[in-house]
């Protein structure tokens, strides 16, 4: 796939952060993963979910969400309504990388080329705390739900269901939402859940998913300093044992 952030250079981008508080946002953002569940499973009605979906698919204003990470890294979520269908792209970026060059690494995309999954559960768990004084999506529950479409881990532990359910409840879902949480962890329908292994030599998680960009080490062509920083952001050695606190997020 030939895709980079320069595709968005002249696009009608808008900051999506205010949309996170809109009724129906999470039902709309996670619609592909929650097939079979009504909007009420998220604690909203169908009208609110439909309105939120329209805003996400607005051709005149493409929402962009920035999930700040430590060390100058960020995951940027772009809604793209420039083609016949709206797609969503997830890029890993760094403040020192060119925003118009190839250094924006693609983690996932639900366009026709279907790229994903881009994260395993230990990595996603490591990304939930936001850096101090960061701007963008900083709430750990919102970060988890926003990045769920990138996830696809067949070995996600039981606490992953608990964490997703907690995040859903904080965002307004009914208390008995474990079934919805479990389905959301089954992976995006375009690529599903895959098996991940940690390669000690490459210092990276590797994915066996057919459409995953993580079949190769993430950031393998980065300078050593940036590669080490990225490894630290994603949990490094500790990622193999990453869990959430017993009290949740």
Q: Does pLDDT of 74 surpass 60?
A: yes
Angle at 228 between CA 108 and CA 187, to 5 degrees: 25
Residue 8 confidence class, pLDDT cut points 50, 70, 90:
low
Helix-helix angle 158-170:140-147, to 10 degrees = 110
Residue 1 · residue 115 · CB < 8 Å? yes
Instruction: Report, as an integer, the average pLDDT of 208-230.
Output: 90
How confident is the model over 83-110, as pLDDT tens digits?
678 899 999 998 887 654 446 889 999 9
Provide the residue ranges of all domains of the chain, joining segments of one domain with +.
Answer: 5-241
Residue 2 confidence class, pLDDT cut points 50, 70, 90:
very low
CA distance 217 to 198: 10
Average pLDDT, the chain: 88
Residue 227 confidence class, pLDDT cut points 50, 70, 90:
confident
Q: What burial class does residue 192 get, using C-beta atoms within 10 Å of its C-beta: 0-12 exposed, 13-18 middle, 19+ buried?
A: middle
Q: Does pLDDT of 245 surpass 50?
A: no
* Helix (H), strand (E) counts: the chain: 7, 7
Q: pTM here? A: 0.91
Containing 73, the helix (H) or strand (E) segment is strand 73-80
């Amino acid at each position: 796939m030939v895709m980079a952030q320069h595709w968005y250079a002249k696009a009608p981008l808008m900051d999506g952060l205010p949309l996170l508080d809109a009724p129906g946002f999470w039902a709309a953002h996670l619609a592909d993963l929650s097939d079979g569940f009504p909007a009420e499973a998220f604690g909203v009605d169908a009208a609110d979910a439909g309105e939120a979906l329209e805003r996400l698919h607005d051709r005149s204003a493409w929402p962009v969400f920035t999930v700040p990470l430590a060390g100058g890294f960020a995951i940027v979520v772009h809604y793209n309504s420039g083609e016949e269908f709206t797609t969503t792209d997830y890029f890993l970026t760094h403040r020192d990388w060119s925003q118009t060059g190839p250094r924006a690494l693609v983690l996932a995309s639900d366009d026709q080329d279907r790229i994903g999954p881009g994260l395993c559960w230990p990595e996603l768990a490591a990304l939930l705390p936001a850096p101090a004084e960061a701007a963008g999506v900083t709430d750990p529950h919102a970060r988890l739900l926003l990045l769920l479409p990138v996830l696809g881990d067949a070995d996600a532990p039981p606490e992953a269901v608990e964490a997703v359910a907690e995040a859903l409840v904080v965002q307004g879902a009914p208390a008995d939402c474990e079934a919805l949480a479990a389905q959301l962890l089954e992976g995006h329908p375009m690529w599903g859940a895959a098996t991940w292994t940690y390669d000690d030599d490459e210092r990276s998680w590797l994915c066996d998913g057919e459409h995953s960009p993580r079949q190769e080490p993430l950031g393998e062509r980065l300078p050593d300093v940036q590669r080490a920083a990225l490894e630290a952001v994603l949990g490094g050695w500790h990622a193999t044992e990453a869990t959430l606190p017993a009290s949740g997020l």
